[in-house]
A and B are shown apart, each in its own frame.
Chain A
Amino acid sequence: MNAALAIAPASPLLEVRGVGHFYGNRLGCQEVSFDLYPGEVLGIVGESGSGKTTLLSCLAGRLDFAEGRIRYDSRSDGLVDLATLSEAKRRVLMRTEWGIVHQNPRDGLRMGVSAGANIGERLMAVGQRHFGKIRAAAGDWLAQVEIAADRMDDLPMSFSGGMQQRLQIARNLVTGPRLVFMDEPTGGLDVSVQARLLDLLRRLVADMSLSVILVTHDLAVARLLAHRLMVMKGGHVVESGLTDQVLDDPHHPYTQLLVSSMLQV
C-alpha cells in the first residue's frame, strides 16, 4: 500500500450529459449521461436496435447529436465540447488521441496497402518521416498483436479475420491514443479466435491504461473486458454499474431477461 493507492484520477476524460439523437421521429438514444475516467472500460450492452450503436456514433463524433453535451479532456486543448469543436480539431483528435475499432476490419483498414503501412499510416499522419523508425514501430506492433514479422509486407487481404482484427487494433494503438471506441470488436469471429483477441485486448487496455467505450451484445465479452456496464433498451439506459454487479445482481427487468438468456457453458 502506498500513495498510488489514491483514489484514481479526479477528473473524467469524457463527460456525457443528456445526450440524445433522433432519426426523424424515430428515437436513436436519449438522456444518456455518464463520466468516463482515464483507464476505464465502459461496456454498452443491449440488443440490436437498443440505441447502443447510435450512442457510439454520437460519442465518436460521427453523428451530429441533437440533444445534450459531450465534453472531452484533450491533451492539447484541455476540455473541449464535441458539438462545437471544429471538424479540423475533431479529425486531429481522431488520429492522435482517439481510436476506432470497427466490427468489420475492412471498415478500419486500408485493404490495398501492406500491413506495415496500415500501422505506419497514423505515424506518418502525425509527421513521422523516418522510414526506418516507422517500420520498426510497425514491427513492434505486429509483435504486440501476435502477427508474425514476416507478414509485415503482405496485404491485409491475405490475412484471416482474426488477424485483420488484430491488425486494425495495432493500427489504432500505434500513436498511443487515450480513448478507443470499439464496436463489437469480436463479432463475426470464431470462438477460439475471439478468446485470443479478448486476451490481447485485456492486456493492451491494461498496459496502456486506455479508456475504452465498448459496444457489444455479447455479455461474456463485456464481463471479460469492461469495468462497468450500461444496459440500453429502446434508446434509454435502463441500468448501469460495476460489470459484475450488473451481471450477477441485475435489477432492471430487461437486464434480468438479458442475463437469464445468456448461455451458460
Chain B
Amino acid sequence: MSDILGGYNFAYLDEQTKRMIRRAILKAVAVPGYQVPFAGREMPLPYGWGTGGIQVTASVISADDVLKVIDQGADDTTNAVSIRRFFAKTAGVRTTTKTAEATLIQTRHRIPERRLTEGQIIVYQVPNPEPLRWMEPRESETRKMHALLEYGAMHVKLYEDIVHFGRIATSYDYPVRVNGRYIMAPSPIPKFDNPKMDGMPALQLFGAGREKRIYAVPPYTRVESLDFEDYPFEVQRWDQSCALCGATDSYLDEVITDDRGGRMFVCSDTDHCSERRAASDEAEGDGIRRPVEEEAAE
C-alpha cells in the first residue's frame, strides 16, 4: 500500500469520527431498518454524490478489504470511478470490479446480480432515507409514526399507483418492511433488486449524507416489499434478453446505439455480464469482444 496519500488519516476520516459512525452502525444493526442519526462530516465531494455511503465505507473499511464500487450497476461510471480512486488513495486498499472478489461493495442504484455471501458488506448511498417523507414533512412526526407503527400512509402511495396506472408503478426505492417492524427506504435501487435484500447473507448498511442518517439490515433478515393482497409485489420483467451475454434473468438497461433509433438491451450489472460472457467464451470461443475494463490497470 505504498501509494497512500500523505497527510490524511487512513480512509480519510479521523478515528474519532469513525468511532462515532461505527457506534451508529452498531445501533442500526441492532434495530434493523431504524434510521440512526449521526454527525455527518463534510466530505470532499458534494451531497448527492454518495457522501453518506462514503462515510460508512470509510468507517468499516480495513487495510485488507477488497473494495468494489458500482453506480447504476456499472463499475466504470464517473461516480464509481471517483469513489474507488478515493479509497485507493486514502486507504490504499485493493479494488476490484468483480463482485465475487470484493469484501466491501459501495453501491448506488443497484444490488449486484451475483448473490452476496457471508462476510461481505454492501453499503448503499441513500438520497432520501425517510419513506414517509412524501406525505409528512415534519421529522418529529415521521419519527413518531415509525415509533407507533403508523404506516397506513405507505399503502396510500401504492393505492394511488394502482388507481393511476392499473398496477403498482413505483419501480425504484420501493418501500420494504424490515424484520416485520420498520418501514425502510431501500434507496433508489430498482424494485427488481428488492427480493435480493430478503435474507441476504451479507451485511447491508445504508448511509444518507445530507440527511445524516444510517440504517442497516443485518445478515439473514426478513425484508418484505409492501403490497396489496390482490396486487402482490412483482419485479420488472423484460421480453428481451441481454444483447451481450444473453441473460434472461438480470436487470437490463436500454442502450441507444446510434442516431437512427438503434437500441439494445444489456445487463445493467457489468461484472455479471462480463462474467457470463467469459464463461461462454471458455465454452465456445465465439469471439465476442469483451469491453475494455478501463481500470484493469489500477
- Cα of A117 to Cα of B162 in the assembled complex, Å: 11
Interface size on B, residues (CB 8 A): 20
**Binary per-residue interface labels of chain B (224-241) against chain A in the complex, 1 for a CB within 8 Å, 0 otherwise:** 000111110000000000
Q: A116-B163, A131-B230, A131-B231 are in contact. Are A124 and B152 (CB under 8 A)?
A: yes
Q: Which residues of chain A are within 8 angstroms of B147 by Cβ–Cβ distance?
A: 88
**Of residues 122 to 180 in A, which have CB atoms within 8 Å of B's CB atoms?**
122-126, 129-132, 134, 153
B148 within 8 A of A: yes
Given contact pairs A91-B148, A112-B135, A131-B162, A120 touches B230 in the complex (Cβ within 8 A)? no
Task: Return chain B residues, CB-CB under 8 Å to A125.
Answer: 150-153
Asked if A121 contacts B152 (CB within 8 A), the reply is yes
Q: How far in angstroms is the closest Cβ of chain B from A175?
A: 10
Residues of A close to B153: CB separation below 8 A? 121, 124-125
- B127 to chain A minimum Cβ distance, whole angstroms, is 21
Q: Could you tell me if A131 and B148 are in contact, using CB atoms closer than 8 angstroms? A: no
Tell me if A87 is interfacial: C-beta within 8 Å of chain B: yes
Q: How far is the CA of A130 from the CA of B230 in the complex (A)?
A: 6
Complex CA–CA separation, A130 to B153 (angstroms): 15
Chain B residue nearest to A132 in the complex (CB): B230
A110 and B135 contact, CB distance less than 8 A: yes
By a CB distance below 8 angstroms, the chain B residues around A113 are 135, 156, 160
In the bound assembly, the distance between CA atoms of A129 and B160 in angstroms comes to: 14
Residue of A123, A125, A130, A153 most packed against chain B (CB within 10 A): A125
Number of interface residues, chain A, beta carbon within 8 A: 24
A126 to B155, CA, bound (A): 11
CA distance A92 to B150 in the complex (A): 9
Once the chains are docked, how many angstroms separate the CA of A91 from the CA of B160? 24
By a CB distance below 8 angstroms, the chain B residues around A131 are: 159, 162, 228-231
Asked if B164 is at the interface (CB within 8 A of a chain A CB), the reply is yes
With a cutoff of 8 Å between Cβ atoms, the chain B residues found around residue A194 in the complex are: none
Q: How far is the CB of B203 from chain A (nearest CB, A)?
A: 30
Q: Is the CB of B163 within 8 A of A153?
A: yes
- Report how far A132 CA is from B163 CA in the complex, Å: 11
Per the 8 Å Cβ criterion, residues 152-177 of B in contact with A are: 152-153, 155-156, 159-160, 162-164
Closest B residue to A116 by beta carbon equals: B163
A209 proximal to B (CB < 8 A):
no
A57 within 8 A of B: no
Chain A, residue nearest B162 (CB): A131
Instruction: Mark interface residues in B19-45 (1 if CB within 8 Å of A CB, else 0).
Output: 000000000000000000000000000
Complexed CA–CA distance, A88 and B148 (Å): 6
Nearest-CB residue, chain A, relative to B227 = A129
Q: B229 contacts A120, CB within 8 Å?
A: no
Nearest-neighbor residue (CB-CB) of B151 within chain A: A125
Q: Is B159 a contact of A120 with CB atoms below 8 Å?
A: yes
Most buried by A among B135, B147, B228: B228
Interface residues of B (CB under 8 A from A): 135, 144, 147-148, 150-153, 155-156, 159-160, 162-164, 227-231
**Chain A to chain B contacts (Cβ below 8 Å), 17 pairs:** A91-B150, A116-B159, A116-B163, A117-B163, A121-B153, A123-B152, A124-B152, A125-B150, A129-B155, A129-B227, A129-B228, A130-B228, A130-B229, A131-B228, A131-B230, A134-B228, A153-B163
| A interface residues (Cβ-Cβ under 8 A, vs B) | 87-88, 91-92, 95, 110, 112-114, 116-117, 120-126, 129-132, 134, 153
> Beyond A120-B156, A129-B229: 16 further Cβ-contacts under 8 Å?
A88-B148, A91-B144, A92-B148, A114-B160, A116-B159, A116-B163, A121-B152, A124-B153, A124-B159, A130-B230, A131-B159, A131-B230, A131-B231, A132-B230, A134-B228, A153-B164
